[in-house]
Amino acid sequence: MPSNEQRRETAKRKLERQLERRAERARKRKQMTIAGSALGVVVVVAVVAGLVWLNTGNDDTSESATDTTAASEQSAAVMPVGRSTPLPDTVSCSYPADGQTPAKAANPPRTEGIPATAPDATPSISIETTQGNIGLNLDGTLSPCTVNSFVSLAQQGYFDNTPCHRLSTTGLQILQCGDPSGTGSGGPGYGFDNEFPTDQYADGDPALSAPVTYSRGTIAMANTGAPGSNGSQFFLLYGDSQLPPNYTVFGTIDDTGLATIEKVAAGGDDGSMTAGGGKPNLPIEFTSVRVD
């Protein structure tokens, strides 16, 4: 009978092999995406403003359920818990035009004197939907330019009468919203760079390709994978999900909001989207988005 030490060594070697396989798959996915972009071929999702480029985690389905469960917490790195250096009281932001026709008319946000400390940088958002209310607590101490854009769009009524066009219940547990066209390709006509946690890593750091855990209750921006491709689309996590740290975190969802999202998630999706998931079977639309 193997000793406890032998069992630990066997488990350690097994986990190392799993992590090596996952790292190799991540490198191959990156190479395929770059090649597809150069050839003008869409491999996962068409790279146009407002479309999200997310790792659905489906590659891990080749491993046994036991292996995945045993290694889940160890396979993902820990997301930074906060900024390594606090931001100044205010920052400057940039929102250049992205060359796309806006899904709904909107003016770009202001760019100077953007608050980056509480309480001015931490507004609350009240969303009324066709399935129940959702409350958001935004955090501009982490991502001030993202919060500034979201607040600006909300104040202009950009999100009003807008459907959430994508639900994922396998791998990723997200509800994606923010595109007035409801197609997954719409945006406000401008883009901006990633903030936290992406900006806590050096350019070219291999850790940017490794998964971290985006926790249940997190709000994060969707993007195409290209620099400066954040727009108006965002996703609401109703369960822990593993993604590379390339999606800007800018707040949290309250308990009422999580209950509303879980109600929608319980209905499943139609599986229509190549990036994973599809339109919710229980449709949900934002009827009103207000800054408290």
pLDDT band at 46 (very low <50, low <70, confident <90, very high): very low
CA 117 to chain centroid: 23
DSSP SS3 for 244: coil
pLDDT digits (tens, 9 = 90+) for 195-252: 999 999 999 999 999 999 999 999 999 999 999 999 999 999 999 999 999 999 999 9
Strands 249-253, 241-243: pairing kind: unpaired
- What is the per-residue pLDDT for 16? 56
pLDDT digits (tens, 9 = 90+) for 114-163: 999 999 999 999 999 999 999 999 999 999 999 999 999 999 999 999 99
DSSP SS3 for 125: strand
Preceding omega of 119 cis (within 30 degrees of 0): yes
What whole-number percentage of the chain has pLDDT above 90?
72
Helices (H) and strands (E) in the chain, counts: 4, 13
Nearest-angstrom CA–CA distance, 160 and 288: 5
Specify the range with the lowest mean pLDDT, choosing from 18-27, 257-266, 274-283: 18-27
pLDDT digits (tens, 9 = 90+) for 50-72: 334 443 333 332 223 333 333 44
Instruction: Report, at the CATH architecture level, how domain 90-291 is classified.
Output: Beta Barrel (2.40)
DSSP SS3 for 198: helix
- What is the per-residue pLDDT for 34? 34
* 37 against 275, higher pLDDT: 275
Q: Which two tokens stand for residue 256?
A: 């009422």
Q: What is the pTM for the complete model shown?
A: 0.77
